[in-house]
Amino acid sequence: MPLNTAYIALGSNLGDRLGQMQTALDRLAEASIEVHVVSPVYENRAMGMGEAEPFLNAVAGVRTSLQPLALLELCLEVESGLGRVRSAHWAPRTVDLDILDYAELELKTTRLHLPHQRIEERDFVLYPLRAIAPDLRIRGQRVADLAARLPMDALTRHAFSLHLPNV
């Protein structure tokens, strides 16, 4: 079965943020997802959450034979397994996995929009994505160009990083 390239955003603002993001990557790999590249880690404010801890964010490039909705289900299972509770839309979370792009496919269902519907507004997604896929096209525009339009005011690149899973 052919492998498709997808990009998954990872975020966390509760507990061992970096450890939970790494465990999420490892669990994706254990489920036969080939994680082939991981961006630098960035820290940013928790938008719309008041006094919540800041988020760590990164993006992973993966190769998978899963179709988009099956990949979404796997991401939701990984989140749940790491203690993610969906109590409110803008709530702190142990880990958050969002499919940003899947083989440059355009898809709109009640469960999944591809590419991610607010990607152009999110510096905490575009900067990590630019680091690993600057020429990826989102709705006809290069990620590098989309990122260049957003200020990096509240976003900090960190020295620590995630590593590729050992599977």
Catalytic site residue 139? no
C-alpha distances in angstroms, 79 versus 26, 97, 148, 162, 165? 12, 7, 30, 17, 17
Catalytic residue among 17, 27, 93, 130: 93
Q: Which of 27, 84, 122, 130 is catalytic?
A: 84
Q: Which of 96, 101, 122, 123 is catalytic?
A: 96
The CA distance from 56 to 153, in Å, is 15
96 is catalytic: yes
**45 annotated active-site:** no
In this structure, what are the phi and psi dihedrals at residue 72, rounded to the nearest 5 degrees? -60, -45
In the set 98, 122, 123, 130, the catalytic residue is 98
Answer yes or no: are the C-beta atoms of 7 and 61 closer than 8 Å: yes
Provide the token pair at 66.
């899963």
Cα–chain center distance at 154:
18
Amino acid of residue 49:
M
Rg of the chain, C-alpha, whole Å: 15
- Could you give the residue numbers annotated as active site? 84, 93, 96, 98
